[in-house]
Structure 1
């Protein structure tokens, strides 16, 4: 028994604290815990329900991600297959190019080999040329057919769109309807996504695809697997002892339920005995309301007795249209709360008993070491340095005892270890002396390595493509690499150590002196300087000051780069940008001027028809009409320069065109000019608008005639030219096959000031001229995706070179007969849609003269409403650019809803609003009455006399 007043006081205090804690637990905690336990169990079912709802949302997101990943996987597989097919094509055609087989044998091997390649779900590879001919296809129905007219549900062509996309971008994806191979029908009904790639060297487009139904099947399979995984998870979930989670859909079909007798059934007939209503309807009504549903149900041990109350929480998952519900017996929830309160009481009693025992042990453990520590302190104070407490603990008392014992031990050890410390210090000094000798040896090695590094740095500085030098404060060259010495045309050894003024010369040094002063002031500077000899070289130099430790400039580094090529490229780019800006301004002016000319020419023609018999009036009207037509020609040239004139690009035999034009051109040339033409046996085909190409050649020939007033030689050449590497024309022409046209003369040529402005509109070196000839040629070439260049010197003639896209020879179509100028349409109703009132008035008058009754609209939206309301409408004439709905969109809407109505579009620009422009008729502003008659005749056969 411990006899200590400290022990008894401490133990009594602990007993009082433990007793009060036990009473507080019983009186305050147990009732509250019982109530809260019931609420926690009740909310647990809702929390579990939220977790299941989150799982369903993740399944939904996973399925969407699965579809995206599946589609990406399919697209990558399509790219790999097309890459393999292209490798096979290049391998076979490579044998042909090496002469190992004929072209026909190579093409047969390529197309038969690709036709036999299969992968995936009967997926295949197809090949088409630039004219929509299917050269390789596994389906006999499509093999060898021309697919230019195959269209999707919207009426858009399929294969031509793919070809145009491939030629424009090199590759791409396209989704369209197509028939499955070896199917019962060749109808284009199954949606398919294809990847394709252009082979411009072989003039082929190669592609492969997959049907979207196959992608959907994989996603549906994943959906079924996800639902089965969710079913296994929900069967393992329990709320309290007997509660669970189940899922049913909007049609009351039980999708997932732990009871296999209920799962998969339709349970809308089960009613709630408490309300008499359907349990399924009550669950749906309570979904996402935050309120539970109470109903009576039986128990497994008491089947058929629907007397036990259950509670359910319900959430509606809109992604799958599911209702997710939890179900638990109310009796089980309260039972858990009672069991928890009983357990708390037992725990409180156990804590009371254990607390009393721990209080006794704690008091004894605290008091006993303090007593031993006091006894040891008494021995030490008596002079016994060998005394120890012997206490080993990990608390504050243990730290105190260990500190006390350690203090005694240190006093005893300090006396015994003083001599050993002196000997150890002596050994450390000897070791330090040895390390000092080693450090001196290492420093010598480092200096040798530094010398090697400096030698390598000099070699590197001499090899880099930049001129580098260093100047000290006195402008003396202390370092220069080989390229800097070459820049000043001296040897590197003869440069280092000399002053900069001596090396550069007085003129060059005076030019850069301000920059040197700025750099010695501590500011980095940069400038450009032109070295005239031995060749003109433009350099860009940067001067970087070297700041010393005290902030003063000690010298500078010089970095010079050769930017001659960059400056030349920048100059050409600025010229091309300036021409584009002038072209945009010219196109806008021409568009507005076309509206004015339409009004002027239309009113002049009407005045001449109505008042032609008035004596003397015709001599005023005729010059005005000629001036109007001249204005129309000027606007046409402006549109050509701005690349907005209507073009109809098609394969053209350029050689034959030049020879046919030569018959007429010789009449405009004096006999002193000798003209040479391209030979007849060389095929020269290009993709261009034939009429615009004729106008361009006429302008070039007439310019050459005016440049040779005393006669000379005019050469017109055309040939196929292959550019292996990009070449500079008005801009960089990429490597490809082109049709080259060269018009060369030995005339006056262009001087240095006139040559950069040769393509500008209204710029001319002639005393009489509009300055639109070469600008029209430039606009036509650029709109035709070509390139142009002028090689000329003053007094040495000029050679204008044009590159146009090359074309394969094709049969020429027969000419279409002109429309009858006397044709009329009496009693027919026409709609005119034009936002300019004066232009609309001219069109109305001319249509009424042709027998039409006319209805007008000021916008595309108003015209669309009139088309829907007027039943006996036969003709719609619409401007392309209008407020609201554009003319092109209006035409497509009419063709989709009322295809019997004929449509004519009018515009002062080119027609670029539709991929399928062949279905629409365009009347260019300004127009003659005969042009209107021809356009109406081309618009369709539904309008008859």
Structure 2
């Protein structure tokens, strides 16, 4: 075959241009629809990350505030303990002085004057002191000369009501902590103060000591200022996007923390937003905790003073510290990641396009050029050159197709060379006999022989073409060559079928089905498929129940439910089928959909098996979902049941718990019964019934045998092959567990297929037998068991016809077993 440039043949150019167009279109659509979405999502992720960082920093500052408040509380408690200690020490001092004076016979008035004088000078913690007052409100001891020995000590009226209120509470309670306002010594302004006061009725006065809260607040402010450096170090290490940052200012617009040393520590109330011309501090405060972002123009560290770069800020307010915590990020930095991702996608698309083009060139060299050569050879044959050969060699579908084509042309050439002489010789014989019957018989034999040869050839061609198309369903260019070839083979098939009077089947249609009769027939089939450990029980309604459905599909659905129940009871149990008439006056909500009011036929299939767990119950009707571990289980059983129910305007419900069996309830709209033929077609729902069965294939033509083997294996069968009647006979005798026999009628010129079928049938029951032939309709032989009739499949056939023939053979076997029972 000449080696041309890959783009020279028209098919190659079309294929590569189509591949290029599809690739470009696909990535254009992906780019146009995906990249904007991805860019938007990446932008949002970057923006949300800055929000998250801001929220975390705000949470950190809130915890700092909580620590400060905790310290304030602890400091107050510590000062309160000191106050109690100070009053206790004063009490001990006074009691000691009174005892000493009593022993020395010193008058009590002099002792009191001495004690009060000493206590008036006593101070601790720099600013705290002890004071003493009698029950009339006179301060007997106080460090402020204005108050010492004075009743109602202040002219402004502040102290008098304070003392009266305190004396009443202390006289009533004995002692305690009390909050009020009082002046510092030598000052006139009243300040918040907390004092511990205790009553001493034996002496006729109270003793108190207090702490000014502003002293405590100064300690808290010191702690607060100590926390700022730690927060500053944490904030300066945070980067939003590439150069974004966080900063903090207070309600007086003092910048507490900012990475720019020119702004940090300053009062920035004069800075304005170039976009709005308004103070930027006011705008930041206005959007605090609103979730809105402030858009403004600012400069960059590498371009100072040029306020043209768009930024976004988000603000959180911390009431405890009266702080505003802000994030600041450049808008172009938020978009940089999405732009980088978009560029990488575009680069990936370009690389993929180049790889697709290279693979396309490789495909052209391996597939399309051989097909082009095969097409040119076919054109030569069409023009009458029967010596033309493709001479293509290969173990793929194209090589097999070329080999079959060359074989067909060679046989056709040989048949044409001998056809004239054979017709002449046989015609002379018929003329000599002067019998029209003999002449017709010779023509029939000639036609049968020719049909047999052509059917074998067409079987090879049609089988290989179908296999090639099945294995390349999405290859449109390849299918453009395969479809005409398949159609041509099918036209040849039609010619032979007309010679042999081929009959076609009619498709199934929905009919009015008598439910109880169909259930009875189904139970007959099921009893042969259920093990002896499973008991089949039936409870049918006495009413004449009818539904308008496809009878075959309904039976298939029931069989699927029964087989599922069987698999759920590996150790045996009870399988029950029930039918009843349900009339609902109100909508029902227990099924897969709400069931409107009306009349329904209820079909209930129950078992005592393992049941459904929660997950299985939720996914029971999903395609390909299965809890079984067998390799031949597709997980389509309940899906097909569900599809049948919904197509029949019905409803379904599963009631089950793990280990407690299952009850599947099917509702179908009831109709009035009309007597007609509702015998269901016993077709299984799929080829699963053939899975892993052992079949013997007998065919003397190696090419035909190879095609039929591939078709049988596609049904899940395990295949043993024989090329002669003698070889097949030995296999039948020596392998006791064969399930199927598929054999040609004529083997090496002898009608040996029926004899093999008789031998196979004699080995035992439940064996499926299918014979193949290119020129006969049926096969009957007189054997040891009487007249036997075997199903026959006419050549040529495709995979679907082979499967239908196996179904017919299967049904024939079931009917025979039912009849024997």
Q: Shared fold (TM-score greater than 0.5)?
A: no
- TM-score normalised according to structure 1 size: 0.30
Bigger relative contact order (CA 8 A; separation at least 6)? 2
TM-score normalised to structure 2 length = 0.34
The structure with more radius of gyration? 2
